Amino acid sequence: MKTPKPGKRRLELTLQPVSGKALPVYRGEILRITQLEAGQCVDFNCFNLDDHKEYMSVGHMRREAFHPGAGHFIWSNPPRYRPMMRILTMPPTCVADTLAARCSAVIFESHFGIDDHPNCQDTLAEAIGEYGLTPDDVHDSLNLWMNTEIDHIGYYTVWNSGKAGDFVDLMAIMNVLAVPATCGSGDIWVTSSFCYKPIKVEIFEATAQTKAMAEKEWKANASLKSQRVPKDFLNPTIRTDPELRPDPNYKPRFVNFPIEWKDIEVVFTNEEFMKIWNYRGTLGDTDEEVVRTLFFHWYLDNRKKHGVRLYTPQQAHA
């Protein structure tokens, strides 16, 4: 597949940690998501802009690849099951995960005893609220820059390999509402290497080349009889207006936004510091990264609770 050149940039914004934005991207346009620093996991949701009951199905993408890359489609949910976007560019340092669903408040309460931790379910819900969608409309994310690996018990996540300047280009095959969000799990999970970072989002206008390419992809991949739309349904009535319109007065309320940072000085003896130094290059490139990672590895090994259990923070840490 020859990568087309993007058109004129019509939008550029920075997504701060634990925030997201719902963005219309029209057929032939290119959405670009860029690492401003390094190693920030990005959760991604996608709706048909003209019919919100059609949305991305990560489960069906997983049928093609556990880690989709350049050339793969973002597919919609059956019975539509149509190509929504095409991944044009994805660097090797971006592992795109289809296994981990999305983080939610329940995970953080059950594992850590924190009941108000930022999470992708709530961040995505706040972002799509601008278009009148509800938390129930959030679906499993395509997790960009999330290094899941698979072993004999399922999957696990390792240090994020994203580099500053990495970008992913997604071309719209249909008109979509694209929703990138900075992952909320990254500060106390290895997903984003235990530290939140901002990301950049851009949209480039369609060109004659990208329009033709999107049209061709649509005809080739969205013409099956079994790709049913509401007119084919026994009950075609969708209970809510399928057209998505923004509410100009909408104000999202992202959980714990903006993040409040605190610099903490940690003092080691020279002998202790020598031991920490040994982890340079494997658990981080700087003293700060190594110390923070060691701390959270300890926490995950010694205090993280497994499974969904309900308890108070006092019980969790008793």
Partner 1 sequence: MSADEMEPRPMSPRPAKVTVRFDQQQRKLLDFLRAEKKFGTQDGEIIRNVVLDYIKQQQKQGK
Half-sphere exposure for 211 (CA within 13 Å, toward CB): 5
Cβ proximity to partner 1, 143 vs 293, nearer residue: 293
Shortest CB 57 distance to partner 1, Å: 31
Cα gap 104→122, rounded to integer Å: 7
Is residue 67 involved in binding partner 1 (CB under 8 A)? no
75 and 81 in contact (C-beta within 8 Å)? yes
**Cα dist from 188 to 28, 57, 266, 289, 303, whole Å:** 38, 27, 18, 13, 12
Applying CB under 8 A, among 114, 218, 229, 230 the residue interacting with partner 1 is 114
Cβ proximity to partner 1, 63 vs 303, nearer residue: 303
40 and 199 in contact (C-beta within 8 Å)? yes
What's the token pair of residue 298? 């300890």
Cα gap 63→94, rounded to integer Å: 19
44 and 245 in contact (C-beta within 8 Å)? no
The contact mask relative to partner 1 for 3-22 (x = CB under 8 A, - = no) is: --------------------
Residues 196-255 that bind partner 1 (CB under 8 A): 196
What's the token pair of residue 186? 């990254």
Q: Near partner 1 by CB under 8 A, which window of 22-30, 141-149, 164-172, 294-302?
A: 294-302
What's the token pair of residue 98? 């289809």
Applying CB under 8 A, among 232, 243, 247, 285 the residue interacting with partner 1 is 285
Size of the site for partner 1 (CB under 8 A): 46
290 and 301 in contact (C-beta within 8 Å)? no
75 and 48 in contact (C-beta within 8 Å)? no
Cβ proximity to partner 1, 68 vs 284, nearer residue: 284
22 and 123 in contact (C-beta within 8 Å)? no
Applying CB under 8 A, among 281, 306, 307, 310 the residue interacting with partner 1 is 281
Is residue 306 involved in binding partner 1 (CB under 8 A)? no
Following CA atoms 243, 248, 251, 252 in sequence, which dihedral angle do they give, to the nearest 10 degrees?
A: 30
Is residue 275 involved in binding partner 1 (CB under 8 A)? yes
Residues 175-194 that bind partner 1 (CB under 8 A): 187-188, 194
Applying CB under 8 A, among 20, 113, 162, 180 the residue interacting with partner 1 is 113
Applying CB under 8 A, among 259, 308, 312, 315 the residue interacting with partner 1 is 259
The contact set with partner 1 (CB under 8 A) reads 112-114, 117-118, 187-188, 194-196, 256, 259-270, 272-277, 280-281, 285, 287-288, 291-292, 294-295, 297-299, 301, 303, 313, 316-317
